[in-house]
Amino acid sequence: MIKSLIINPGSTSTKLGIFEDETLTMEETLRHPTEEIAKYDHIIDQLGWRKELILNFLKSADQDVKSFNVIVGRGGLVKPIPGGTYAVNDALIKDLKAGVQGEHASNLGGLLAKEIADEIGVPSYIVDPVVVDELCEEARVTGLPQIPRVSIFHALNQKAVARRYAKEIGKKYEDINLVVVHLGGGVSVGAHKNGQIIDVFNALDGDGAMSPERAGGLPTGGLIRLCFSGEYSEAEVRKMAVGKGGFNAWLGTNDMREVVKMRDEGDEKAKLVIDAFIFQLAKNIGSMAAVLDGKVDQIIITGGIAYNAPIMERLSNKVKFIAPVTVYPGEDELLALAQGAIRVMNGEEQAKIYE
């Protein structure tokens, strides 16, 4: 049996999971009040404080820290890397501390895992961070050499559900082609070809369908005019693109349940937004099917919005001509992180080395 401690730091919380093999035996979310977070100038400065909170929780829960075989942290904004499970080494620590692609709470995941693991003499890993980059060269090219397309998306959940589907049908992830759709606060649609995500809509900077709080791809001319209208600062435009875009911009909410309720109560704008959302997602799925030359074994839809069965049915009906559709509602990041470590500990795959 492999007993693992999983650490998933967010901006105002740290989620913890304790697994025995793939069975979750304990889950806890440590909440961090804004006034506590405000004491630290930089996210990296929270490392010692969050570590102490984790160790205190384990003690209060009667969990001997020395009973763990492995510690796994959520991957952060490191350099673009292929998917997989990475041993936390000096190079990774350096880039997590530096925040080479940005400052984010997830950068603390690998650092916390490493510090706790080293103290008890067990390995520490990160798994499929958001910067997973397996793009084919054509996918990087845009009409402006100064602006290449980059890969930032829900890699952990996309890879986890792809592997889950492969296992359920008795095949290897590396032997099938999939289009995977993650529907949460952000949306990402990826083309998985033989275990590599060769193209994906950038879920952060503005690619593809709108989402509950992101604008998605926008007409370039209109965006340029908006930027130079003199009405908005750069920070305000960025917030429109990520945070206040999508459903938030149209309807003032990022909750799909609320949007559905508004539509059911006769709100025509809410109906239009839902229709457009399904329309845009179908376009994204179709384009990724074209990237795979139409050879798609399955379309997989996951994320929080996937709990909405009527919307899933409508989306499935629009794209099922491409391939059958499987829906895995929600996302289980803690389990996905645990599974990444288990594959290495069991010898199913080798830990990758970050350089």
Q: In angstroms, rounded to a whole number, what is the distance separating the alpha carbons of residues 27 and 332?
A: 12
Whole-number Cα distances in Å, 241 to 104, 109, 182? 18, 27, 18
Q: Taking Cα atoms as reference points, which of 197, 198, 180 lies closest to residue 189?
A: 180
Q: In angstroms, rounded to a whole number, what is the distance separating the alpha carbons of residues 52 and 66?
A: 16
pTM of the model: 0.92
Cβ atoms of 129 and 75 closer than 8 Å: yes
Q: In angstroms, rounded to a whole number, what is the distance separating the alpha carbons of residues 55 and 119?
A: 12
Q: In angstroms, rounded to a whole number, what is the distance separating the alpha carbons of residues 263 and 76?
A: 37
Q: In angstroms, rounded to a whole number, what is the distance separating the alpha carbons of residues 275 and 270?
A: 9
3-class DSSP state of 28: strand
Read off the amino acid at residue 73: G
- Per-residue confidence (pLDDT) for residue 193, from 0 to 100: 98
Q: In angstroms, rounded to a whole number, what is the distance separating the alpha carbons of residues 222 and 133?
A: 29
Read off the amino acid at residue 185: G
- Per-residue confidence (pLDDT) for residue 103, from 0 to 100: 86
Cβ atoms of 122 and 70 closer than 8 Å: yes
pLDDT (tens, 9 = 90+) of the chain, 355 residues, equals 999 999 999 888 999 999 999 999 999 999 999 889 889 999 999 999 999 999 999 999 999 999 999 999 998 999 999 999 999 999 999 999 998 988 889 999 999 999 999 999 999 999 999 899 999 999 999 999 999 999 989 999 999 999 999 999 999 999 999 999 999 988 999 999 999 999 999 888 879 999 999 999 999 999 999 999 999 999 999 999 999 999 999 999 999 999 999 999 999 999 999 999 999 999 999 999 999 999 999 999 999 999 999 999 999 999 999 999 999 999 899 999 999 999 999 999 999 999 9
Please, what's the b/e burial string for 265-300 (b: 16 or more CB within 10 A of its CB; e: otherwise)?
eeeeebeebbeebbebbbbbbeebbebbeeebbbbb
